[in-house]
Structure 1
Amino acid sequence: MVNYMGSAVVTVRIPEELKREMEKYRGKVNWSAEIREFIAGRIEEERKREAFERLLNLVESLPGVPKGTSKRLVRDDRESH
């Protein structure tokens, strides 16, 4: 059992038709749990997106390599075998 002590209440307005449809499945679907899981998943998606953006910004800020470096490295590798 989950302890919700210290939890907050969030109110969301939805169309009346949607509310009626939810009522049809009240005994089968735990809407509170579904909504909590959705919100937690969405937050995780945003955290990953932000981490990716930070990584991308870091990579873009790295200095480039001098022109011809790739060719030289490939040539050096081939000649070493």
Structure 2
Amino acid sequence: MERFKDRVNWAEELRRLVGKRTRELEAEENIRRVLEELERIPISAPRGFSVSSVREDRDSD
């Protein structure tokens, strides 16, 4: 580092690196939270729901 101190602003390089890593970690946390929320949402419908919905929609025209 000493050798390149005239060409590299090490403090700025480190700030940029830490900022990038912090954003990556925050993104990972956000994705984890979203996935946890999605897991709580029931995705199943009663048997025959789709068929009856399509028929009802067709018959309404």
After TM superposition, is the score higher than 0.5?
A: yes
| Equivalent position amino acid for 1:35 in 2 | L
Secondary structure, counterpart of 1:27 in structure 2: coil
CA distance in 2, matches of 1:28, 1:68: 69
Larger RCO (CA under 8 A, 6+ residues apart): 2
Residue 2 of structure 2 corresponds to residue 23 of structure 1 = yes
User: How many angstroms does 1:23 deviate by?
Assistant: 1.2
List gaps (5 residues or longer) in structure 1.
1-21
User: How many angstroms does 1:72 deviate by?
Assistant: 3.0
| Equivalent position amino acid for 1:32 in 2 | A
Higher helix share: 2
Q: Percent identity?
A: 27
| Equivalent position amino acid for 1:48 in 2 | A
List gaps (5 residues or longer) in structure 2.
none
Pair 1:68–1:38, CA change in 2 (3 A): farther
Question: Could you say which residue in structure 1 is the equivalent of 2:33?
Answer: 54
Q: Deviations over 1:25-69 (max 9, x none)?
A: 111000000001100111111111100000000001111222555
User: How many angstroms does 1:24 deviate by?
Assistant: 1.3
CA distance in 1, matches of 2:2, 2:14: 15
Question: Could you say which residue in structure 2 is the equivalent of 1:64?
Answer: 43
CA RMSD in angstroms, aligned pairs only: 2.4
